Amino acid sequence: GPKVMNIPIRPRRNRKTEVIRSLCRETLLSPADFIYPVFLHDAPTNDAIDSMPGCHRWSLEGLLTELDEIERLQIGAVVLFPAIDDALKTPRAEESYNPDGLVPRAIRAIKESHPDIMVITDVALDPYNSDGHDGIVSENGRIRNDKTIDVLCNQALSHAIAGADIVAPSDMMDGRVGMIRNALDTEGFKDVSILAYTAKYASAFYGPFRGALDSAPKSGDKKTYQMDYANIREAIREAHLDEDEGADILMVKPAGAYLDVIHRMRESTHLPIAAYQVSGEYLMIKSAAAAGWLDEEKIVLETLTSIKRAGADMILTYFAKAAARLLH
């Protein structure tokens, strides 16, 4: 007969049934972990976004209907990304702090109709800037850090006045978290939080998003402000700065190719960490699934669980609705 082997330690015993696997599971995904990024535009129609199948540029009304579904799925937070008419884009991005601009109007409408949904706004100039950069571009083509921060503070304030719960600077200018915190506090918005895009890499994974908002840089790239994807110590340096400047939550972006950064940041700070599964990550899964090459539902849950396992407390993902449905 078969030889009796001496293998007293058998990890497979903890995998023998779904019940024991559930008991031993270390990372649990929940709809409460998700932040849903939504695109909106100043038009009466809901337009499908070619570069991001399954996503839409919502009208204000369409967005409110979409939020009914978000609430039913128990997703608690959204982040707003506006597509701005070309005619409103200027070198100084004045539209970014127009109190009656698309984002402040959307915030007021959401707070009126869905007061319990947490509204997060993107603070950066690229949708408003005729140069397509997150900052103000000077005549010699350089990004003007401190001048940009003035505008970002105005933008963050206009969002706070309209009722935003959290502002999320995604621009990567130096010192902007502290200056925005100061601007908010000076105007009495001490309860408005800052979710800092702390380690935002110069990434080709943002391509489909820039298509969605028509916000790609008109010249050059974003490498003088977004981080070099070869670096991780630099991410921790940024984390310490943002923490010292008063950030409430730190973000790593993109997520899937940067799990080591999420993990290292988790070990370097006690602040909550957000990770952004960005448009290119979404599109890779969508296109492989559309071709019949991958099982979309399984891949979605696996990638999101991995991001959480790496150390993220919350995840921005275009799959928020789909994943919440699967989890329910």
Active site residue ranges: 200, 253
Which range binds ligand PBG by CB under 6 A, 41-49, 109-117, 181-189, 204-212? 204-212
Least distance from ligand PBG to the Cβ atom of residue 206, Å: 4
Region 297-326 residues binding ligand PBG, contact defined as CB under 6 A = none
Residue with Cβ nearer ligand PBG (160 or 283): 283
Residue with Cβ nearer ligand PBG (257 or 268): 257
Instruction: Tell me if 155 contacts ligand PBG by CB under 6 A.
Output: no
Backbone angles phi, psi at 30, to 5 degrees: -145, 150
Residues 149, 183 contacting (CB under 8 angstroms): no
Residues 173, 126 contacting (CB under 8 angstroms): no
Query: How many beta carbons lie within 10 A of that of residue 244, not counting itself?
Result: 10
Residue with Cβ nearer ligand PBG (98 or 268): 98
Instruction: Tell me if 278 contacts ligand PBG by CB under 6 A.
Output: yes
Sign of the C-alpha dihedral, residues 157, 220, 286, 256?
negative
Backbone angles phi, psi at 248, to 5 degrees: -95, -30
CA 10 to chain centre: 41
Instruction: Tell me if 206 contacts ligand PBG by CB under 6 A.
Output: yes
Q: Exposed, middle or buried, 234 (CB in 10 Å: 0-12/13-18/19+)? A: middle
Instruction: Tell me if 131 contacts ligand PBG by CB under 6 A.
Output: no
Least distance from ligand PBG to the Cβ atom of residue 279, Å: 3
Instruction: Tell me if 279 contacts ligand PBG by CB under 6 A.
Output: yes
29-63 burial, b at 16+ Cβ within 10 Å, e below that, comes to bebebbbbbbbbbbeeebbebeebeebbbbbbebb
- Selected from 33, 66, 95, 126, the binder of ligand PBG by CB under 6 A is 126
Which range binds ligand PBG by CB under 6 A, 120-128, 156-164, 260-268, 300-308? 120-128
Instruction: Tell me if 210 contacts ligand PBG by CB under 6 A.
Output: yes
Sign of the C-alpha dihedral, residues 239, 242, 246, 250?
negative
Residues 40, 58 contacting (CB under 8 angstroms): yes
All residues at 6 or more sequence positions from 1 whose CB lies less than 8 Å from its CB, including other chains: none
Residue with Cβ nearer ligand PBG (216 or 268): 216
Residue with Cβ nearer ligand PBG (144 or 210): 210
Least distance from ligand PBG to the Cβ atom of residue 326, Å: 21
Applying CB under 6 A, the residues found at the interface with ligand PBG are 122, 124, 126, 134, 170, 206, 209-210, 222, 278-279
